[in-house]
């Protein structure tokens, strides 16, 4: 008569008491709990929920500088016009000005639609912020601070292909067509999986790094320079430094740790200080001046599952390297200890 499973789980807090009951009574209680579920008023999302959400989002200060509404002349173009309708506007049938006007309008419409379709869609996560976005195929991308992602509108041409500048975590919808991530020097190809790509082309030691949480990806240098692809399975990672032709062999990593940025943490594994500093600047939108020559390439492994503010990490760095640090709210200056410039002292 009724689905026994429906929300029948008793709260874990209650288990101890239940277990102390005689078996019969325990059964009664479980059954009562299950049946009481019938009295639930609707606690599922409804169209009203969406209306309320729209209202709500209009009320809140989104924290980003509002982009001036740029009129998109392409937008109102009738993309859905059927081929039969379009054929009516043949140039040969133009006889009067009104028709010519319509035809020119239509031609413009086609040109604008095409150019609109060809303009890449770009999503930017500004410094100090993270953004997640859903691609036309339903794949979800979480962009780390100071990163951008672009792709062709609707994935209409060129298949499922995105270009990443920075770092992002991808949850790719399985599909027949392969999904490709391009970076300044590499290409990652997948079918349906979860993985992280880090590719800051302007970094001190630029490289593309891929870490896979679920499934398998193919990782190779960007076209032309490409050697053989490296296959990366779950729990493994590989790196392709700028100028190299072949990614490093996939090695085992703690992916959760590597993607600490997704959950408000930081993780650096043997990274040069210059890149760590750049990362903190992006993540927390602060300015850090590293006035300690010779320290740019000092490597450091640092992991924090939770970071309250940039200041905390910068203080750690100051302590670790014995820098003389000037710290204010948004700006930090790190100087070599007592004016010394040689890190090997």
Partner 1 sequence: MTRLLDMTPSADRMEEWMLKIRASDEQAFASLFRSLQPALLSYTQTFVSEGADDIVQDAFVWLWENRSTLDPEPSIRAYLFTAVRNRALNRMRNDSRRRELIDHVPAPQRPARPDTAASLTELKGAMRQWIDALPARRREAFELSRFSQLTYQEIASVMGISQRTVETHIRRALQHLRDQLCHHQPDLLP
Q: Catalog residues that contact partner 1 under the rule CB under 8 A.
A: 1-3, 6-7, 11-14, 17, 27-29, 31-33, 35-46, 48-50, 52-53, 55-57, 59-64, 129-133, 145, 262-264
For residue 247, the minimal CB distance to partner 1 (Å) is 29
For residue 218, the minimal CB distance to partner 1 (Å) is 28
Tokens of 115: 């150019």
Distance, CA of 333 to CA of 331 (rounded, Å): 7
- Closer residue to partner 1 in complex, CB, 61/223: 61
Tokens of 310: 């940039």
For residue 258, the minimal CB distance to partner 1 (Å) is 16
Tokens of 167: 């770092």
For residue 127, the minimal CB distance to partner 1 (Å) is 12
Contact 224, 176 (CB under 8 A): no
Cα angle, residue 255 at apex, residues 250 and 256 outer, rounded to 5°: 175
- Closer residue to partner 1 in complex, CB, 170/219: 170
- Closer residue to partner 1 in complex, CB, 52/226: 52
Distance, CA of 113 to CA of 107 (rounded, Å): 10
Distance, CA of 203 to CA of 249 (rounded, Å): 22
Cα angle, residue 261 at apex, residues 63 and 243 outer, rounded to 5°: 110
For residue 18, the minimal CB distance to partner 1 (Å) is 9
- Closer residue to partner 1 in complex, CB, 31/331: 31
- Closer residue to partner 1 in complex, CB, 45/96: 45
Report how far apart, in Å, the C-alpha atoms of 55 and of each of 50, 60, 155 are: 9, 9, 31
């Amino acid at each position: 008569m009724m689905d026994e499973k429906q929300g029948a789980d008793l709260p874990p807090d209650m288990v101890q008491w239940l277990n102390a009951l005689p078996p019969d009574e325990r059964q009664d209680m479980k059954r009562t709990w299950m049946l009481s579920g019938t009295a639930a008023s609707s606690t599922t999302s409804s169209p009203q929920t969406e209306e309320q959400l729209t209202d709500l989002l209009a009320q809140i200060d989104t924290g980003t500088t509002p982009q001036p509404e740029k009129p998109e002349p392409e937008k109102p173009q009738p993309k859905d016009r059927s081929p039969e309708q379009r054929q009516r506007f043949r140039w040969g049938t133009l006889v009067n000005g009104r028709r010519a006007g319509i035809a020119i309008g239509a031609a413009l419409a086609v040109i604008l639609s095409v150019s609109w379709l060809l303009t890449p869609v770009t999503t930017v996560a500004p410094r100090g912020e993270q953004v997640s976005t859903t691609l036309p195929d339903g794949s979800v991308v979480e962009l780390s601070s100071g990163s951008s992602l672009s792709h062709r509108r609707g994935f209409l041409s060129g298949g499922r292909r995105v270009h990443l500048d920075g770092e992002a975590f991808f949850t790719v919808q399985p599909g027949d067509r392969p999904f490709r991530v391009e970076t300044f020097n590499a290409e990652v190809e997948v079918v349906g999986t979860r993985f992280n790509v880090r590719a800051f082309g302007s970094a001190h030691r630029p490289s593309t790094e891929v870490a896979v949480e679920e499934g398998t990806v193919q990782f190779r240098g960007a076209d032309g320079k490409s050697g053989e692809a490296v296959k990366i399975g779950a729990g493994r990672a590989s790196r392709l430094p700028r100028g190299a032709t072949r990614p490093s062999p996939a090695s085992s990593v703690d992916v959760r740790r590597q993607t600490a940025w997704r959950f408000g943490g930081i993780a650096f594994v043997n990274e040069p200080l210059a890149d760590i500093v750049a990362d903190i600047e992006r993540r927390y939108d602060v300015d850090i001046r590293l006035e300690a020559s010779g320290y740019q390439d000092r490597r450091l492994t640092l992991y924090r599952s939770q970071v309250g503010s940039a200041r905390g990490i910068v203080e750690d760095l100051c302590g670790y390297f014995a820098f003389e640090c000037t710290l204010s709210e948004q700006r930090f200056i790190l100087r070599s200890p007592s004016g010394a410039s040689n890190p090997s002292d």
